[in-house]
Amino acid sequence: MDGDLILSLGDQEKLAALREVDLYRQWHSLDEERRCLECGLPITGRQIQIVLYADGSGPLRGQCPTSKCSSIPMDWSLPRDADPIMRETEEAAATAHAFVSP
């Protein structure tokens, strides 16, 4: 939202904030990567923006740092190698695609 404040936090504060705003996946390090399902780009904990509403209401929130991307933590997936469900889904899709003749 316009006028919201992107917080500048130290490493430990940022990691704590990520753990607070991302209720879907654990964060062990700011160097961990997620894939934004909205813009398709990889993002790290260091890049993710921790935002406070302009009027000070509401909790902190995390948002993708990509310009014009409005994704939030529920829109971020683990990298393929770290997510067994994503890996199995992609492998099944590739196998199914291999059986389809042009």
Q: What pLDDT score was predicted for residue 8?
A: 94
The predicted pLDDT at position 1 comes to 52
Residue closest to 75 by CA, chosen among 35, 20, 19, 32: 35
Residue 30: CB atoms within 10 A of its CB come to 15
Per-residue pLDDT of the chain (102 residues; tens, 9 = 90+): 567 889 999 999 999 999 999 999 999 999 999 999 999 899 999 999 999 987 877 789 999 999 999 899 999 998 865 556 656 665 666 666 555 555
- Please, what sign has the CA dihedral across residues 89, 90, 91, 95? positive
- Report the pLDDT value the prediction gives residue 65, as an integer from 0 to 100: 95
61-63: strand order across its sheet: 5-6, 49-52, 61-63
Residue 53's pLDDT is what?
A: 84
Query: Do residues 20 and 58 make contact, with C-beta atoms less than 8 angstroms apart?
Result: no
Phi, psi of 86 (to 5 degrees): -60, -45
